[in-house]
Amino acid sequence: MLYFVFKSALSGVLIAIISTLARRFPGVGALVASLPLLSVLGMLWLWRERPDPVNMADHAAATFWYVLPSLPMFLLIPFLLRRGVSFWIALTSGCCLTVVLYLLMTWIGPRFGLKL
């Protein structure tokens, strides 16, 4: 249980640092947020709990393929915001687009041999 609390606290601190940094320096905050820090932490936690190279390779590969459908969200949100759409509607639209693209990736990916 203590390990779970540690993992949660460290991950939360990273998110807090990124949001604080982005408040003062949006570009730097975006750069740090775009780093795969949480993915790397996730891999570290997974490796510690299950040090299996095949499992880790499958996890890393699937993470790559699932990052791709999330990218259009970061184009849609600023597009909508710059056209006067409210933040909450823009964010919800971006999240909905991402969910639809995740579902498509999950459905289409295996048909092309992707192990998701």
Total count of residues recorded for the chain? 116
What are the b/e assignments for 43-81, b being 16+ CB within 10 Å?
Answer: eebeeeeeeeeeeeeebeeeeeebeebbeebeebbeebe
- Tens of pLDDT, residue by residue over 30-88, are 888 888 888 898 899 899 999 999 999 999 999 999 999 999 999 999 999 999 999 99
* DSSP conformation class of 72: T
Q: Where are the domains of the chain?
A: 1-51, 53-116
| pLDDT for the residue 65 | 93
The yes-or-no verdict on residue 96 having pLDDT over 90 is yes
